[in-house]
Structure formats: C-alpha cells, structure tokens
Amino acid sequence: MPAANTLDETHDPALRSWVDSANLPEADFPVQNLPFGRFIRAYPEGAASAPALGVAIGDHILDLSAAAPLMGGARLLNTAWSQLAAGDLKGYMQSAPAIRRAVRVALSRALRVGSELADNLRPHLVPMAQAAMVMPCAIGDYTDFYTGIHHARAVGQLFRPDQPLLPNYKWVPIGYHGRSSSIVVSDTPVVRPNGQKPVSDGIPVLGPSQRLDYELELGAFVAQGNPQGQPVTMAQAEQHLFGVCLLNDWSARDLQAWEYQPLGPFLAKNFATSISPWIVTMEALAPFRRPFVRDPGDPSPLPYLHSQSNSDAGAIAVDLTVSLQTEAMRSDGLAPAELSQSEYPSSAYWTLAQLVAHHTVGGCNLQSGDLFGTGTLSGPSAQQAGSLLELSQGGRVPFTLPNGEQRSFLQDGDSVVMQGRCRASGFVSISLGQVRGTVQAAPAGV
C-alpha cells in the first residue's frame, strides 16, 4: 500500500487547470491542492442552497453535488462519488486510502487543461465570492494537544522559571479533551467569555475575560476510526489521517489561571475554537513531508511512538502567519498587520502520526471526522510567537501596531487572521487558506 507521502501524477508542477485563476503565481488552490470544503451557494434572488461539498480550484468551488455523478471511472469509486455528491464527507473519510487517492487522481485529471470533462463541469463551478463556507463536517470529538515545545517552554518560563518544561513533556504527547460543540468555521464571530477571575483579596468575581488570546495551531481530521480496545500502531497511523486545516484555539488567560488547577482549562477554552473551511488532504501534502528530527540530547520516543517512516517523513513543512486587524484599522481601510511567523516542523515536538498512536494506545476508539489540535505552534524567537501571551510577555510588555494602537491582549472588534502555506523546491506551493475570527463583546447582565 503506498504511503500517504507517496508522490504521484497529481503533484506534477507542470500541471495547469482550465480554471485560469488556479494557475496564477502563489494561487491558494492550484490543481495540485484540491481541498474539500462545505458551502452554501447564494442565488441572485437572495435564496440559499442546501450545504454541499466542494473542491477548491483557483477562486472557484467545484460543486460535487452536481459534478461527482459526472466523474464516472472505475466501479470501485461509485460509493465514494455517491458520498461526495450527497455531501457525506464523514462517510467518504472512511474510504480506504487507495480509494481516496484514486478520487484525487480523477479530480485532478478532470480539472487539468485538456480534460474531456471540462465543458460538462464548467457549469458547476461556483465563484467563492458567491458562496458561504460552513463546517466541513460534524465533529464528534475534539482533542487539543500541546506539541509546540517552544510555546510550552515560553509559557513555562513565565510561570515556572525554575522548571519551564515539566519532566513528562519529552516522553508523552500531552493533550486534553476539548469541546466539539463550540468549534466554528472561519468568519464566525467569537463572543468574549464571562467567567470567574480572582481579585486582590482572593475572592473570585464573575465578569468578562480581560486577557483574551489566540493560539496558532493546525487541526488534523481523522479518516478511518479504530475499534475500541484496538490501538493504532505507528505503521497504521498515517492511513487514519484525512487532512489538515488551520485552527485558532481561543483562550481566556485570566479565567484559565484561576480554574486550571487541578484538572486543567474549562471555561477558558470551551467558548470557541475556529477552523479554516478547507481540509487539505494528506495526499496533497506529500511533496512537503520532511524528516522528523529532535535534538541529539533528547530522549528517543518509546517504541510505540517510533517508526522508520515517521523518522524519514513524519513532519510537514507549513509556513504559518498571524495577523491582527483592529476595529479602527478596519474603519480606516488598513489591512491586518502581521504579528508573527512560524513554521510547523520546528515548532512541534510530536508528529500527527504519533498523536494518533498515543491517543489510541490505551484503547480509545477514534471516529471519522474527529479533530486533533496540535497545540500552539510558536518558534524559538519572540517574532515567532503563536500567542499574545508570549508576544506581550504575559501582558507585561504591550506591543504597538502600525497605526499606533497598542495591545497586550485582544479587545472587542479585533480580528485575528491566521494563514498557512506549504512550499518545497521543485513543487507548486499550496495554501491551507485562512481562519479569521472577530471578537464581540461579552453578554451583558450575567
């Protein structure tokens, strides 16, 4: 069985699409990408269609509800095309890896220059400007990990300068169960949470968080699940991954500081997690796989977290940026100001495959459509911070934006924009799109 990082004809940098916008330099969605998303189409009279699955190509969406039945091909793909036409992404995620690869090849051929299907598919292209993106699928369970070692060390330095990293960090992937019901798609407003906060006399008060923050992460969707009680080995882990998105795990730092002992964050995290609307498949990421390496002095992973294939190509090269646009900047027509840049391979201490293996080693049964968060992906320098907690050094050092405004934490009206792009020499770069969220005031009268 070919590995998820196997190159094939769909990665050929010479490929061009008959959708012209897909061929522009640094296009987000060239024919080499082909991510899946779910959208609602707005009709001229103002009515909206039912949600449908689509594939991003240039600045358009190929509507699979109409296009999938036209694809034809091998009989073994009939079920997959039927699931995609019906908008059943979770059902499609359960397909065997060979089926998912075959569907990708078919979509690539159909959208390339010279495709015999071009004239039949053209009427089923929807301009992105005329579509509203919705959640790509219903997410059953959400687990947020803590793989960002530079973030863990920076935060630990703020609160435990004598021991920034706890003894277990380099041995076990740390994670906690998040709240799937409050995961929202990009451009959904984020309401500032209320919660308990300590005051000077040690008696807590209820009120809006004053230290609202973002966390720059990747999200990974589970493909095939596993039976309860049957762990997924490292040799199997890659086939249980469907694809990745961008993820902003909003955090209320003041609420978290009060509530997290002894069990961890609760209200500080459960109010909202934002994801980008497009799932970039593991197959599309094949050209951007990198060796998984650690510092020579670090311990080797326990055997259940090690495989040669993971060492050879377990990491994924993704360049990440975070930008901020305040309400005043928006009013003045100013673009979001970039706050930081980082990149995935050097930020994460554990690979996605290792997260699957660890999550299931005790017998937990993953299900198609489950979501993992990587944890905050900060680099080693201050300019690579993936959160305001790091950028402002715990709120002690405000930073100044290009229009003169200052921030330590987020204010109402602030919009956070996260973007990701994969690049590799000799290949066409592909984008993860963006995840954007704007902070709204907390409910009054609580």
Residues annotated as part of the active site? 151
| 3-state per-residue secondary structure call for the chain | CCCCCCCCHHHCCCCCECCHHHHCCCCCCCCCCCCEEEEEEECCCCCECCCEEEEEECCEEEEHHHHHHHCCCCHHHHHHHHHHHCCCHHHHHCCCHHHHHHHHHHHHHHHECCCCCHHHHHHHEEEHHHEEEECCCCCCCEEEECCEHHHHHHHHHHHCCCCCCCCCCCCCCCEEECCHHHEEECCCCEECCEEEEECCCCCEEEEECCCEECCEEEEEEECCCCCCCCCCCHHHHHHHEEEEEEEECCEEHHHHHHHCCCCCCCCCCCCCEEECCCEEECCCCHHHEECCCCCCCCCCCCHHHCCHHHHHHCEECCEEEEEEECHHHHHCCCCCEEEEEEEHHHHECCCHHHHHHHHHCCCCCCCCCCEEECCCCCCCCHHHCCCHHHHCCCCCCCEECCCCCEECCCCCCCEEEEEEEECCCCCCCEEEEEEEEEEECCCCCC
- Whether the bond between 262 and the residue before it is cis, its omega within 30 degrees of 0, is yes
The upper half-sphere exposure of residue 82, i.e. CA atoms within 13 Å in the direction of its Cβ, equals 6
Cα angle for residues 376, 382, 384 (degrees, 5° grid): 45
d(CA 32, CA 21): 13
